[in-house]
């Protein structure tokens, strides 16, 4: 691993801090991709209705994108933690306020 880091620093000019952030970004993307694949596999296995599968695909995409945006933002931007906390609290408040309508919509 040290040889790869040294090669990237010498030949491409990537600092060790930038390399860590890049690696963390790839790890986040990979974990979220695997998580979405598991959700889609589960939905395809357990649901035969194409409308439910479509909603699961769309919802999983939106959730993975949002979580990825927040996590990658936290990796790259120092002040992003307070924004992520703010967005998390707002989202939780909206989810609590809209619990009954969302439950009725989901079935």
Distances in whole angstroms, Cα of residue 81 to Cα of each of 3, 25, 63, 69, 98:
32, 16, 18, 12, 25
- Are 53 and 47 contacting, i.e. CB atoms less than 8 angstroms apart? yes
Higher pLDDT, 37 or 14: 37
Which tens digits make up the pLDDT trace of 33-81? 999 999 899 888 888 888 888 888 888 888 898 888 888 888 887 766 6
* 82 has a pLDDT exceeding 90: no
- Are 34 and 74 contacting, i.e. CB atoms less than 8 angstroms apart? no
pTM (two decimals): 0.65
- Assigned token pair, 83: 């924004």
């Amino acid at each position: 691993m040290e040889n790869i880091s040294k090669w990237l620093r010498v030949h491409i000019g990537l600092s060790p801090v930038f390399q860590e952030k890049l690696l963390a970004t790839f790890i986040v993307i990979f974990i979220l991709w695997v998580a979405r694949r598991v959700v889609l596999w589960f939905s395809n296995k357990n649901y035969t209705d194409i409308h439910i599968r479509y909603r699961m695909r769309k919802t999983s995409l939106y959730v993975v994108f949002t979580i990825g945006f927040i996590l990658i933002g936290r990796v790259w931007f120092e002040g992003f933690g307070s924004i992520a906390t703010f967005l998390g609290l707002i989202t939780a408040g909206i989810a609590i306020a809209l619990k009954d309508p969302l439950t009725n919509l989901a079935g």
